[in-house]
Amino acid sequence: MSERPSSSGDTDEQPVTPAPEAGASPDQAGRPVMPARRPSPGPAAQQDAPSAPADPAEAAAQAPPESAAARAVAGQATTAEPAGPAASAAPVRSGAPQAPSPAPRDPSGAAPSGAVQPDPVQPGQVQPGQVESGPGRPAGGPQPDAAPQGAPRPAPAAPDAEDTVRVPPLSEQRTQVMSRVTPAANATPAGGASEQTARIDTGAGSGTAVLGAGAPGPGGPGGPRDPGGPGSGDGGGDGGGDGDEGRGSGRRRPVGLIVAAAALGVLVLGYVGDLALSSGSVPRGVVVAGQQIGGMSRAQATEALQSAIEPRSSAPVPVQAGEVRTEIDPKAAGLQIDYARTLDEAGEQPLNPFTRVASFFTTREVGVVNSADDRAVRTALEQMAPLVMKEPKEGSIQWQGVTPTPVAPEPGQQLDVDAAVGVVEQQWASGEPVQLPLIVEQAVTTPADVQKAIDEVALPAVSGPLTVTGEGANATITPEDITKALSFTADPEGAVRLKPVIAVKTLEDSVSPQLASTEKPGVDAQLDFAANPPRVVPSQDGRGIDYEATFANVLPILTGQGERTVAAIYANEPAEITTADLESLGNATEISTFTTGGFAADSGLNIKRAAESVNNKIVAPGETFSLNAVSNPRNAANGYVEAGIIEDGHPARGVGGGVSQLATTLYNASYFAGMTDVEHKEHSYYISRYPVAREATVFNDLIDVKFRNDGPSPVLIRTSWTPSNVTVSFFGQKVYDVTSATGPRTNPTQPQVVNIPAGQPCSPSKGSPGFTATDTRTMRNVQTGETTSKTRTVKYNPQPIVQCGG
């Protein structure tokens, strides 16, 4: 926009007075308005200015169409903007002195002669000795009333003073827009009718304000309006912003990229610094034996571990497997820490940055590495294994009189010795009880199977007596006797998991006295040892009741809805040992005998019952004999009672207890008879009434005593029982002379203390040491003189010191 000269031809700037708006009050009319994009509460803005002339015509006459009053004072350029509602945003105070306006320029750009060129001044300041000009005051002349620089500004002029425009300094605002005054009649702006407002841009520099588009910014080149300066544009742009809104084709700085690059740089520097600082130290978050050693040097970590662990190496290590608790002596088990290898297990400093960051918030447990004697650790755990072992207990039914009650199944367990060795070696130094791993074996039956057996079998079976009809007499089996004969056993492959079992022998014992008069018993063949060689006494056949056939189908009768009666079945009954059986022995002689004693009265009853099942059995050449095969099931229904047993490696009680004494007696008789050992197992700890390394035990169908007759002729087994001892003898052709040699007891081990929780079955024991021993059997063939020897090594665990309710 070109500058417009004053109509009076002098350098005084006329007051800028807007035209009155429609509907405006007289007080509002003629008030100059300067809207600012960034209003600033400058000192001048805090003062109230007197009102402008009320007559719009007078205001229009006083002000030229385009005023540059403010430009002359502040050195600011103004650009034309359309007049609009924004003109009311920030009113300009009236009544303040005005600065002189520059002289008009000719088209060549040179200043006309006589024009006043103001010297550059600082924004918002007036040069010394000069006051702001107004009508009737020469611009730039000395004023006697001028206040010295830095003195307080004088009070505003009286209300009749001329209106002036006061532009705040650059420190107070960036851009202000002045509303244009409506031009006088016949006065058309040089820039055209569309230029309705004048815009003053303020910048950091100072210089002569020039009105018009595309003019250099204040302060010269590089100013806010100069190309390349802040807020520069194409000339027609806003020019009042920070350089984005105010220019036509500026570039936006990539602030986001700069911030991201700076953040990445910080992270990289932090990663490199952390890696350098932690080089050679234990990775962060590492915990060994409960000690936080992450971030320490290897020397510091070793010292910390030694301080924490060494005191523990002399104290017993508590271990627990299930409900069984005991202690292990670390020195006896050879447990020692290899600190160097333990720190090697912790690893090196990770290079992954995410792993390094995570290590600030997480921990990693590293097990100790031992220079341990695996054999010593295993030996200590093997002592504990029998105490932990528990066979699965299948669901069953107990009788309370004639009322069946359920017995829920229980899982079994055994110590996983192989895995426990590693666990102890890794965790013994932690100072906490070591939890040993177990192998759990689930029972076959379920509580639902037990309840089904009660509802469908047990309750109907005892609903009334059972009658057995014989030839000339009858017998009655009461519900109480039925409960003694009826038991249940697990059948994993059967359609019914809890299968009922009838003990025929128990029913026979109840019926035979009542039907004895209807039978003629047979007589077994016998050997008369009074003669030399022994003479065979012939057998006699009889006629009696075949109880196996009689009670073969008794269960459907007991559980059905029909008549509860069964007919006895009679048959010719040959002797159990016939004349032919004894004659097959040839010139039979006693080839071995063995006796044991010292059992309790309740155990004696079970020993007697098992001995009866073995008595008079003949083992043919090449045949294998099994104690379990002839004596099972060893339960109450088959005549066995509750007595002492070894359960889970410690003394307890159970039905059939004491039969192991017959097993030991039978094993020794077969040993000296020259039988071939097929299967037998010693007790887990030594029992003093048995020969060392030459004894045996049985357990259900899992542990058995088996031997085979490899001689040329059959052998006969005879048993005899008294309340104080039991004897087993073998008769037949003697083939071998047999001797036994027992080795010394070696590798003694001391017993451990085992606490059985209150409420658990428990038999207290004082315990005894464990040891290892050998037995050597030497057999010499009586016909050829050939000799063979075989040594068996037996390791006995110490019998634990059992404390009940501990």
Q: DSSP secondary-structure letter at 495? A: S
Give the HSE-up count for residue 283: Cα atoms under 13 Å, Cβ half-sphere: 25
Predicted local distance difference test score (pLDDT) of residue 381: 85
For 236-286, how does the pLDDT look when each residue is reduced to its tens digit (9 = 90+)?
A: 444 444 444 444 445 566 888 888 888 777 777 766 766 555 555 788 778
Pull the structure tokens for residue 556: 């459907």
Residue 231 in this model has a pLDDT that exceeds 50: no
Q: What is the DSSP string of 11-59?
A: SPPPPP-PPPPTT--TTTTT--B--BSS----TGGGSPPPPPPS-HHHH
Percent of the chain with pLDDT strictly greater than 90: 35
Give the distance, in angstroms, between the CA of residue 91 and the centroid of all CA atoms in the same chain: 72
Alpha-carbon distance 765 to 647, whole Å?
A: 13
Helix ranges, 278-352 (H): 298-309, 339-346
Helix ranges, 431-578 (H): 447-453, 459-461, 479-485, 504-515, 547-550, 554-559
Predicted local distance difference test score (pLDDT) of residue 359: 63
Write phi, then psi, for 652 (nearest 5 degrees).
Answer: -155, -170
Question: Which amino acid is located at 768 in the chain?
Answer: S
Q: pLDDT averaged over the chain?
A: 74
- Cα angle 155, 168, 53; round to 5: 60
Helix (H) or strand (E) segment spanning residue 110: none
pLDDT band at 59 (very low <50, low <70, confident <90, very high): very low
Radius of gyration of the chain (CA): 60
Pull the structure tokens for residue 42: 């400058």
For 531-555, how does the pLDDT look when each residue is reduced to its tens digit (9 = 90+)?
A: 777 788 899 999 999 999 999 999 9
Predicted local distance difference test score (pLDDT) of residue 26: 43
Alpha-carbon distance 754 to 764, whole Å?
A: 10
Residue 788: exposure state from Cβ atoms within 10 A (0-12, 13-18, ≥19)? exposed
Helix (H) or strand (E) segment spanning residue 454: none
Residue 7 in this model has a pLDDT that exceeds 80: no
CATH topology for 447-580 is Ubiquitin-like (UB roll) (3.10.20)
Predicted local distance difference test score (pLDDT) of residue 285: 77
- Name the CA dihedral angle for 528, 531, 532, 538, rounded to a multiple of 10 degrees: -40
Alpha-carbon distance 506 to 483, whole Å?
A: 10
- Cα angle 366, 369, 374; round to 5: 135
Mean pLDDT of 643-649: 73
Q: DSSP secondary-structure letter at 65? A: S
Is the CB of residue 708 less than 8 Å from the CB of residue 678?
Answer: yes
Residue 195 in this model has a pLDDT that exceeds 50: no
Most distant CA pair in the chain: distance in Å?
176
Residue 708 in this model has a pLDDT that exceeds 70: yes
Residue 558 in this model has a pLDDT that exceeds 70: yes
pLDDT band at 60 (very low <50, low <70, confident <90, very high): very low
Other CB atoms within 10 Å distance of the CB of residue 446: 16
Pull the structure tokens for residue 328: 């292990």
Residue 321's SS3 state is strand
Is the CB of residue 235 less than 8 Å from the CB of residue 214?
Answer: yes
Predicted local distance difference test score (pLDDT) of residue 251: 58
Question: Which amino acid is located at 653 in the chain?
Answer: R
For 731-781, how does the pLDDT look when each residue is reduced to its tens digit (9 = 90+)?
A: 999 999 999 999 999 999 888 787 777 777 677 888 889 999 999 999 999
Is the CB of residue 733 less than 8 Å from the CB of residue 585?
Answer: yes
Residue 233 in this model has a pLDDT that exceeds 60: no
- To which residue do tokens 């020019």 refer? 239
Mean pLDDT of 693-706: 94
For 413-465, how does the pLDDT look when each residue is reduced to its tens digit (9 = 90+)?
A: 999 999 999 898 888 877 789 999 999 999 999 999 999 999 999 999 999 99
Other CB atoms within 10 Å distance of the CB of residue 422: 15
Pull the structure tokens for residue 391: 């066979």
- Higher per-residue pLDDT: 317 or 332: 317
Alpha-carbon distance 301 to 294, whole Å?
A: 8
Which residues have CB under 8 Å from 77's CB, separation 6+?
A: 71, 200, 201, 209, 210, 211, 212, 215, 217, 218, 225
Predicted local distance difference test score (pLDDT) of residue 425: 82
Listed by start position, the domains of the chain span: 1-107+118-252, 253-393+412-440, 447-580, 584-804
Is the CB of residue 75 less than 8 Å from the CB of residue 120?
Answer: yes
Residue 597: exposure state from Cβ atoms within 10 A (0-12, 13-18, ≥19)? middle
Question: Which amino acid is located at 682 in the chain?
Answer: E
Predicted local distance difference test score (pLDDT) of residue 355: 65
Is the CB of residue 703 less than 8 Å from the CB of residue 746?
Answer: no
Alpha-carbon distance 520 to 543, whole Å?
A: 5
Predicted local distance difference test score (pLDDT) of residue 681: 96
